[in-house]
Structure formats: C-alpha cells, structure tokens
Amino acid sequence: MMTRKKRFGISIDSSLACEIDRLAKILGIDRSKLVEKALTNFVNEYSYSHAHENHFCRGVIIVETDEGEKIDRAIESFKDVVLSYTHNHLENTCICMFIVSGNSERIKDLHRNLLSVGCGTRYIPIGYTIGHK
C-alpha cells in the first residue's frame, strides 16, 4: 500500500543543499527520498526515545568534547543510569561512549547536561518499555 505524501518547502543553507544533492547521487536516490530518510531517522530517534511519557529505556550516548573533565563530572552525577563507558582520544578530542539504562527523565537530564557544557552528543535508543519505571 502506497503512503500518501505531503509536499512542503524548506529553506536550508546552499552548501547543505549541495551536499544533499551530492550524497543523493552517490546513494542513487532522489533528493526527496534522502531527506525523507534523514527526517525519519531524526524523528524516530528523538520522539521514540524521550518524547513519550516517563519510561524505562536503554541506549548509547556518544559524546565528543575537548575537555574530558566535563565527561567525568557527568559520569559522577549520573552513575544511576550510566552502566559503563569508554573514553578514547582522537587527536585533541575526547570521544566517549556511554551505555545507559534507566528512567527516561534521568537519561534526558544526562543528555541535556552534556549539551549544556558544550559537548557534542548523539543518543541512540536501544529500546524502552512504556510504563516500566
């Protein structure tokens, strides 16, 4: 069954538009399909992970910073949801991976904390169960 499409316009930086065109060509898909896939991934990652009611969830947070102390403070403050982490250096950048599990509000707070101190982050949900606290 074919899903119904909705056309709408957006304005983006011209260099990003060129990059989208280049990537679409490399992948052999049209620009609309590439943007649809990217938006689907973005919406799924953010709405699936924490937009719902308070719930139990698990995931991976990838963190990038040039100041490792910021990561150390976050780990100390969120021991209840950080199950494990790895810390590596890539030139002058710290790259960490947190395995997290627990209350979605705590994981969201950890994510916000890392963003607020200037860390680059990416949360990848592994799964959650609504109603399990």
Based on the structure, what is the number of domains in the chain? 2
Percent of the chain at pLDDT exceeding 70: 86
Query: 30 with 63, same domain?
Result: no
Which residue carries 């994981």 as its tokens? Answer: 107
Cα(31)–Cα(35) distance, integer angstroms: 6
Q: How many CB atoms lie within 10 A of CB 32?
A: 11
Q: Is the pTM of this model over 0.75?
A: no
Asked if residue 84 belongs to a domain, the reply is yes
Query: 69 with 121, same domain?
Result: yes
For the chain, the average pLDDT equals 85
Cα(117)–Cα(9) distance, integer angstroms: 34
Asked if residue 5 belongs to a domain, the reply is no
Domain that holds residue 82: 54-130
Q: For position 64, which CATH number holds?
A: 3.30.70.1150
Query: 115 with 96, same domain?
Result: yes
Q: Which helix (H) or strand (E) holds 73?
A: helix 68-77
